[in-house]
């Protein structure tokens, strides 16, 4: 019943402004909990509700924090034609592009690195609240790094007459089909270089961009136009969305891509959580106090209010 409730809740949320959709972020964080080893697992499982519920906090911050939006994406082509030409280290990127250009075109890999070291510090200080906050945030950014349209200037198909494809790929498809996915990803492993691994993830994800766009374009050209969309109510407003039949055909043509990217997200999050624990001195977590599921960190009530007002700051995707 809880799963059905969460799914129904997500269908009421606007698709256009949340990466992976709230449903997917929540599920990915929750599944990652089961990859961490003994020494971590009891604490993470005891706080699974918090880690799931707060997986969406970074998206909510985009309604209150002017600095939040670029943390969720990297417009590769706005920097270089090839991703390998972008400087990996932050200082070198600032020197080459300047802060204004970085702020405009996205800082996702460096945000993953920053969030990772915040989590390491929380482990070192044995701060249970900060461990959970930073675990939830790190999980969110890592999941974003597995969404192809978070790595391209054509982030919503606006350059190829495919507006709406962003939410279609990352929200509509998982909501319809992820119950059939396999999420057995094995145990978490250690990440030797968090920044390098973040770039590896984003590099692989960026390779999928053309496939995401091209397959939808081909399907759109052959699919009966009158069957491409259907109508459903969201917040008592009748709105257009991609039909089940069109979604099913696109999902099949992608050949498990969405499933594989969600699986990879789960695996990566577990790896980073485990690595941060190791780098933080492997503190004993078993006796830490369980955090109340609806606990909020500093300033989160204000963020929640801004989110409910519904005025996103910066670009949506």
pLDDT tens sequence across 21-39: 788 999 999 999 999 999 9
Residues 260-284 have a mean pLDDT of 98
- The answer to whether residue 65 scores a pLDDT higher than 50 is yes
* Low-confidence winner among 15-19, 37-41, 248-252, 264-268 (lowest mean pLDDT): 15-19
Region for 54 from its dihedrals, namely left if φ exceeds 0, alpha if ψ lies in -120 to 50, beta otherwise: alpha
Can you list the pairs that 235-244 forms with residues at least 24 positions away whose Cβ atoms lie under 8 Å? 235/12, 241/15, 241/172, 242/164, 242/168, 242/172, 244/176
- Percent above pLDDT 70 for the chain: 87
298 falls in which pLDDT band (50, 70, 90)?
low
Six token digits for residue 36: 């961490």
- Spatial distance between the Cα atoms of 69 and 105, rounded to a whole number of angstroms: 10
Beta bridge partners of 241: 230
Closest by CA position to 88, among listed 176, 212, 249, 196: 196
Mean pLDDT of the residues in the chain: 90
- What domains are defined for the chain? 2-13+20-285 (1.10.575.10)
Note the pLDDT tens digit of each residue in 77-118: 999 999 999 999 999 999 999 999 999 999 999 999 999 999
């Amino acid at each position: 019943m809880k799963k059905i409730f969460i799914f129904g809740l997500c269908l009421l949320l606007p698709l256009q402004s949340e990466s992976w959709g709230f449903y997917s972020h929540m599920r990915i964080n929750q599944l990652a909990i089961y990859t961490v080893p003994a020494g971590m697992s009891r604490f993470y499982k005891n706080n699974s509700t918090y880690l799931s519920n707060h997986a969406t906090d970074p998206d909510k911050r985009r309604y209150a924090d002017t600095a939040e939006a670029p943390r969720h994406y990297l417009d590769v082509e706005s920097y270089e034609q090839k991703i390998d030409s972008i400087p990996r280290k932050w200082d070198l990127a600032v020197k080459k592009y300047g802060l204004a250009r970085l702020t405009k075109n996205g800082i996702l890999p460096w945000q993953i690195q920053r969030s990772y070291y915040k989590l390491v510090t929380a482990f070192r200080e044995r701060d249970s609240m900060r461990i959970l906050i930073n675990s939830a945030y790190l999980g969110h950014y890592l999941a974003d790094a597995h969404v192809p349209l978070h790595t391209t200037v054509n982030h919503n198909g606006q350059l190829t007459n495919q507006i709406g494809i962003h939410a279609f790929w990352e929200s509509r498809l998982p909501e319809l089909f992820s119950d059939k996915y396999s999420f057995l990803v094995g145990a978490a492993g250690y990440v030797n270089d968090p920044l390098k691994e973040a770039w590896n993830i984003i590099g692989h994800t960026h390779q999928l961009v053309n496939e995401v766009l091209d397959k939808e374009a081909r399907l759109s050209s052959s699919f009966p136009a009158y069957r491409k969309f259907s109508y459903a109510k969201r917040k008592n407003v009748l709105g257009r969305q991609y039909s089940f039949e069109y979604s099913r055909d696109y999902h099949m043509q992608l050949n498990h891509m969405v499933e594989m990217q969600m699986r990879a997200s789960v695996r990566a999050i577990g790896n980073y959580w485990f690595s941060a624990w190791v780098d933080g001195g492997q503190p004993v977590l078993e006796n830490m106090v369980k955090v109340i599921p609806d606990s909020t960190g500093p300033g989160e009530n204000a963020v929640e209010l801004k989110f409910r007002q519904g005025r996103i700051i910066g670009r949506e995707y």
